[in-house]
Amino acid sequence: MPNNIVFNDVAEQLKTKIYGDNGGVTTPIKTSSDGSVSMTATDLDIRDLSADTDSVTVTATDLDIRDLSADTDSVTVTATDLDIRDLSADTDSVTVTATDLDIRDLSADTDSVTVTATDLDIRDLSADTDSVTVTATDLDIRNLSGDTDSIIKAGNLFTASNATLTDITDTGIAMTIDNSEQDVYSFYVNNTGSAAVSVKLQISPTDNTDYFIDDGSSEVSVGAGEKATLVAQKYLRYTRLFYNASGTATIETYYNAHA
């Protein structure tokens, strides 16, 4: 109160008690055992923080106790779908730019790189639309020499075709063959009908029917149930089998060749 005189003038014995107003009720201020003012609150913020509208910013330098050291410290980040959404091969891409990303430059003496993949191309290669080109000079260990080297042909490319003509009664052509890539070829006739058939070979430089002529070999008569083989006496690109049935007949014809 004003103008009151303090009669105790010993500083160590001078003490003051602090009160506060709690809704109109005077209440002593609470302290801890060491004299520190205690403060207790529930929902100290005006409202609960919202992830949609609120944020907390922390600004610090060397927030760790000490600077991290590459020799003794490590940082591990563990997360599932750390991105906002799963990456999509249709819309997303990841780009890594680096120089000497390996610890050291790779050495041809000590290092190797192995790539293992299935269908590494975007799609399977197609024989109809794709091609593979190999360009090389002296792909063999050395140039081949006529004095010391030789090439041996092993095996032959074999070609065959056949046709069956049923109930033939007149002349006609059994088959026309392009034999430009064959060096040995022949025709075989099997008469499975009841009437005899005469057959012969004709040759031509084109497949135009007006150009065909007899090849020079004799015409062969194949009786019912009989068989015959015909070989061209002269060579032109195309060869065909000509037949002439003496009655209603059926024949099987075969062409065999190799290159």
Handedness of CA 70, 72, 75, 78 (dihedral sign): positive
Q: Is the pLDDT of residue 45 over 60?
A: no
Q: What are the pLDDT digits (tens) for 67-117?
A: 878 888 887 777 776 666 777 788 888 787 877 666 677 788 888 877 676
What is the token pair recorded at 13? Answer: 């014995």
Q: What are the pLDDT digits (tens) for 175-222?
A: 999 999 998 999 999 999 999 999 999 999 999 999 999 998 889 999
Residue 1: what pLDDT? Answer: 46
What is d(CA 118, CA 102) in angstroms, rounded to the nearest whole number?
26
Q: Is the pLDDT of residue 2 over 50?
A: yes
pTM of the prediction? Answer: 0.43
Residue 240: what pLDDT? Answer: 96
